[in-house]
Structure 1
Amino acid sequence: MGYSALTDKSERGFLDGQFLIAMPGVQDGNFARSVVYICAHSSAGAMGFIINRLQELSFSDVLLHLKLLEQPEAFMLPDATRHFPVLSGGPVEPGRGFVLHSDDFSSESSIPVSDDISLTATLDILRAIAEGKGPARATMLLGYAGWAAGQLEAEISNNGWLNCNAHDEIIFDPCVDSKYEQALALMGVSPEMLSTDAGHA
């Protein structure tokens, strides 16, 4: 399922607005120890963003690449803007940028993902952030994670993922290194308790 699925939210799946937390058995380098925020889930598949993988590009790099500012201006950006987090959202369309953000910013292309969170994938939000006029809380992601119909459900039943309700604080936490443990803690689980063996009765 692709990004376009977000524009049709007529069918909501049970994983909408959930965190997926990778089990130790997930060896895929894209998803090992990952926390994924699911934005759209339906019978057609699922789409979400890995929220605990930093991207090598800085926000200044992104702005320069998109020609939203010139090199001298990049040096003048406030610290908060220069250090604005840019994450690797997933292996699908890794060159495409998205911003998950609080709902205090809206443009014509903003898509509500939950009651408090929206997604914008156009340059206007990057300009607003660069000018200090962006949303109160936001994170930029390059690429996304997508699953075909039934694929994610099969992975969960094969003990690939745990799932729980998402928390905004974890989504927007700038410290990505602790998000895996934070997400597990929502379920009262520590990493040491996880087994790679399926525990089906």
Structure 2
Amino acid sequence: MITLWGRLNSHNVKKVAWALIEMNLAYERKDIGGQFGYTPEYLAMNPNRMVPAIEDGAFSLWESNAILRYLADRYAPALRSDDAAVRASGDKWMDWQFHFADAQRDAFLGCVRHGKDGSDPGVAKSAAAAAAMMAILDAELARRAWLSGERFGIADIPMGVYAHTFFAIPVERPHLPHLAEWYARLRERPGYASQVMIPLT
């Protein structure tokens, strides 16, 4: 059985928890990080003081998107295209997610941790930056239904997690129809509903 280490209110832990359900893999999740702190044993496995990490037998791995790729390559290759160009295009959006996270951070923290909304200047500035980046994603989704190619795959997971936050926090958002349609399809997936669409706090 795979062990997933991390608190579920972490975006990066949500990615892996959702992926494990998509892959129908048995796993145990153990809370660590944030309000749970870190044990010396965990820090020996992942010295970055961050979550998540996984243990798969004797093998351990940290860095959420690396974990997604490992799990798909080992257990669910159908979630990764056989075409190198399609796979690389999906990987691009997985890595792009970290830039989006930077843009949305002040809006997320302001709304979720400090009770602010879009009327706060710092929140508004961050929300506008996030919206501009989501317009780029909307244009991509106008050309294809999934970031992974012709079907859902692991490249949809990182930005899928952040899409929920984008639509959930109390800020002004532009109308991005292709993004909204993709988000609606994600919400129909049981793993997304149970692991991602939870309270943000």
Check whether TM > 0.5. no
Band of TM-score, shorter chain: under 0.3
> How high is the TM-score relative to the length of structure 2?
0.25
Q: Which has a greater percent of strand?
A: 1
**Structure with the larger helix share:** 2
